[in-house]
Structures are given as C-alpha cells and as structure tokens.
Structure 1
C-alpha cells in the first residue's frame, strides 16, 4: 500500500479520534463538575472555578446535610427509587424473559401478530402514554401510590424483543426436545436449561430496565403529588424549584445539598455499569454471529 493510500486513512482516523474525544468530554465534564463542586463549601463554590478544587474538603459534611435536610426527605426518596427499581425493573426483566422465551420457542395461533405489535410498542415513546396511563390509573384509584410507577415499569417491550431474538439462537430446539423426552416439564426446562443459556442477554436487559426506572421522571411527576412517594429525580427537581435562594430559612446551603444529592443519585448507575461491564458487553453481541 502506497503512502498516498495510507494518508486518507490516517486523516480519517484523526477526525474520528477527535470526534470521540469531544463526545467523551461532553459526557465526563458534567460528571467532573458534579464531583468537584460536591466537595466544596457554599462560599468556596461561589468564589472559585467550577472545574477545580478549592477551599476545605466538605464532601462528608455535604452528604450529612443532604440526608438531614427536610427531615430526611432524601433518604425516603432513595428508598422509593430502590423500590421502583427492584420491583419495576426486576419484575419487568422477569416478565420480558418469560414472554421472550415463550415467543421464541412456542407456537400458538396469534403468534405472527405479536412481532409487529412489539415493534409498534417500542416505537411509541413512553411520554406519549403517560397521560392516558394517568387517566386510567386515576379511574382505578391507584394514582399517588407506588403502584402507579411500578406497574408501567413492568412492561418492557425492548427487553422482550431482545430476549425473543436471542432465545432463537441461544436455546436450541434439540435440547428442549431431549429434555421433554426425559420427562422434564416446561417450567423445569426453562429454569434448568433455558434460563442459563439466556443469561448473557438478561444482563443488558436488566441494565436497560434499571437505568430507565432509576432515571424515570415524567411518569412519577404526573402520577405522584405527595413528596413521600417521590423518586430521586422528582424530589431533587422539587428542591431546586422550591428553593431558588442560596440559603434557606434553616441556614443550610441548599445549592450544595442539591449538587451533593445529584452526585449520590448517579453513583449507583455508574457502579452497576462498571461491575457488570464484561457481562453486558458480551450480551450485546451474543447471538449476533451464527456459526
């Protein structure tokens, strides 16, 4: 290969690298700003450069104030968010796994209509369904309760779609038939054989469901009107809207509390992605290449 042929490739590589650096900076700079400013006092934050440490290290003091502010509202919101994630995202992953496996490995009369309906459900944004869901839940009398947030989270069309197509290649029909011949029931086959083969796909589905439930804002905003049921997203925004001054009547620096609360709210997602990185990366590409 000549130098003239290598030069365009090098130029293209430089351009792509520059684009990736810009995208990386776009993602990391807000997180860095959040971490740095959560370590500052109210005074040093207002008088120093936002992307550099200054003054006394006050992270632990800010965390204490965040959990103590407003009679411990942040702690209640954190527990609410964990409830919505564990029951909603966890339940949605379980249902998506069962339904996806059933669609992939069982035949029934209306099966051919499910895939177009599933694609349509994925294409419809969740915000478009929020108001109809609110009206339906209002008539059922479950608004302003945890069920108003949990029940919509149990429906996971994208997770069902991923499990369905992964199960077609990852769970061979020959293994299932051999298990049936040996006398195993369908539930035992699913629990002992299919579930293990589907595990690489379940981690990405669980992570997507976790992030969606953890960052859920619009649905709880219209479903809940009492702060005791707020998740972190709605609660922190409520603090920000109600407290525009730098210091509240109690003398606590509300800006630092909101910044620290925001930092604490993103840590679980980052930690979970880092711990499960090798699983969700392999799950995203598993089954994409056939032998």
Structure 2
C-alpha cells in the first residue's frame, strides 16, 4: 500500500518536474531558433522551428555587433561595468556586514535585524522614484553612478550572508583564532572567508543576475544611450518599429537577447556546485 502511494507520488512529481522543465526551456528554444532567421523569416515561418529558406545566425550576430556603429558592444561593456562594480560591491558589502552581524554582539543588533528583514520585504520599484529624486538633487542622474550605487545595497544578500555565517562559521573557531593572537582582519580573511565561499558565490550569483537583468532603474536614471545597459538598449531597438521612420530590427533584438543570455548561462554552469551547496547550507543540523 505504502509502495503504491510512493509510486503515485513519484509519478506525479516526475510529471510536475517535466512540466516545469518544458515551461523553462520553451522560451530558450524559441530564442535560439528565431535567432537563426532573417527579419522576413521571423514572420513567414513557425516560431518553434527553423526557417526553410535561410540559416542566418552568423549574419545576425555580425549585424548585431556592428549595427549603429557597434552600439551593442558599448551596451555590453556598460552592463559588465554595472555587474562588476554593482554586483561585486554588493557581494562584498553583504559579506562584511553579514559576518559582522553574525559574529559580534553589540547594542541595537535586534533593531538592525528587524531593519534588514523589513528592507527585504520592500520591492525595489517602490524605492525607484525616491532614489531618482535623491540622485537628481545630487546631479548624478544620466551617469553610471546612478545605476552602480543603488545596486550596492542588497538586503537579501545581507540577510543570506548573516544566516549563512551563523551556520558555517562556528564561534569556537573564531575564539580559538583570537586566543592564538590572530587579528580580526586575519581571522576573517584566513579562516572565515574559505568557510563562507559557497555563500559568497550564491550572493554573487543573485546580485549578478539582478544587476544584469535590471531594467527599471536604468530606465528612469539614464537618458544617454551611450550609458544604456543591454536590457535598455535592446528595448530601444525593439521600439524603433513604432517610431516614425524607424527601421524594424526584430531579428537583431532576438539575436542580441540570445547573446545577452549566454554569459548568465555560463556563470550558472561554472558556479553551479557552489551555488547548490550555498543554498543547502544550514538546512541540516549537526
């Protein structure tokens, strides 16, 4: 009886997993297939199959990289800048703050914890307008700082590193290092950081994806196309078809979207084992 129930549950779980897998892969398959089509082929062929007339992936990539004086490469460089400075800085601050909150006891610690939890619950879009007004008064709008500085604050990353540090770094090891005469800085870099590596990679991946896919913040902060990230630039290309005298470049938008996805896929595949171990940390009591 129990085996029959387990088998039914297993079959149901397998079916649900298959549905989720299909739901996740169909958009990616559509993107890859349509990146091989010309502008005309997009409208004359089935969306989930190749165009019988021409395989244009190479030409589409070349046109994407050279269109409008190679502005796509400029947008790619901007996105990398925002990710390295914004996501990298957010990860560093989250690691330092999370380690400090988990390791040191000080007055107001509970208040800080409540503040972080409250910040996690506030959506970023709710803070976009106040952030714009503040940066406008500082004269930082339409500059890279308008995207980088807000990206440095990651309440979720801070909370994740806080909880991860409490589970991954035993207080006894920290006390032993202090008794041996190690400074606080050396204890952090030589002892805590290796133990926190899975959590650091997890926070880095989340921050990187959030910054890479950030659209609303650059939309309200930036006016100069030379500072656009890929998300905003591809949206501008897509909107050309609706402007007077604009040239539709839907095949370049799709190809650019495919090129935009590839770095994220590579990052997840390369750091997958660290990411999984980071998510599982603390789930088992020892």
Give the TM-score range, shorter chain: over 0.9
Q: Single out whichever of 276-285 and 118-127 deviates more from structure 2.
A: 276-285
Q: What's the TM-score once normalised by structure 1's chain length? A: 0.93
* Matched length: 284
2:276 paired with 1:262? no
Please report how far the alpha carbon of residue 178 of structure 1 lies from its aligned counterpart in structure 2 after TM superposition.
1.9
Q: Single out whichever of 27-36 and 53-62 deviates more from structure 2.
A: 53-62
Please report how far the alpha carbon of residue 286 of structure 1 lies from its aligned counterpart in structure 2 after TM superposition.
1.5
Please report how far the alpha carbon of residue 182 of structure 1 lies from its aligned counterpart in structure 2 after TM superposition.
2.1
In the alignment, what sits opposite 1:283? 278
Note the residue ranges of structure 2 that are not aligned, 5 or more in a row.
none
Q: Distance in 2 between matches of 1:163 and 1:175?
A: 18
2:199 paired with 1:201? yes
Q: What's the TM-score once normalised by structure 2's chain length? A: 0.95
Q: Distance in 1 between matches of 2:9 and 2:190?
A: 49
Counterpart contact for 1:171–1:194, Cα < 8 Å: yes
Any idea what SS the aligned residue of 1:222 has? Answer: helix
2:2 paired with 1:13? no
2:27 paired with 1:30? yes
What RMSD, in angstroms, separates the aligned Cα atoms of the two structures?
A: 1.6
- Report matched runs for 1:158-173 at 5 Å: 158-173=156-171
Q: Distance in 1 between matches of 2:167 and 2:250?
A: 52
Any idea what SS the aligned residue of 1:42 has? Answer: coil
Any idea what SS the aligned residue of 2:40 has? Answer: helix
Counterpart contact for 1:41–1:58, Cα < 8 Å: yes
Counterpart contact for 1:89–1:210, Cα < 8 Å: yes
Q: Single out whichever of 111-120 and 164-173 deviates more from structure 2.
A: 164-173
Q: Single out whichever of 61-70 and 6-15 deviates more from structure 2.
A: 6-15
Q: Single out whichever of 10-19 and 126-135 deviates more from structure 2.
A: 10-19
Q: Distance in 2 between matches of 1:244 and 1:29?
A: 27
Any idea what SS the aligned residue of 1:243 has? Answer: helix
Q: Distance in 2 between matches of 1:269 and 1:127?
A: 23
Q: Distance in 2 between matches of 1:112 and 1:133?
A: 27
- Report matched runs for 1:1-291 at 5 Å: 2=1, 5-54=2-51, 55-244=53-242, 254-291=249-286
User: Which deviations, in whole Å up to 9, do the C-alpha atoms of 1:66-107 show, x marking residues without a partner?
Assistant: 011111111111000000000000000000000000000011
Q: Distance in 2 between matches of 1:170 and 1:263?
A: 37
User: Which deviations, in whole Å up to 9, do the C-alpha atoms of 1:184-226 show, x marking residues without a partner?
Assistant: 2111111111111111111111100000000000011001011
Please report how far the alpha carbon of residue 46 of structure 1 lies from its aligned counterpart in structure 2 after TM superposition.
2.3
Q: Distance in 2 between matches of 1:10 and 1:196?
A: 42
Please report how far the alpha carbon of residue 244 of structure 1 lies from its aligned counterpart in structure 2 after TM superposition.
4.0
Q: Distance in 1 between matches of 2:200 and 2:78?
A: 24
Counterpart contact for 1:248–1:254, Cα < 8 Å: no
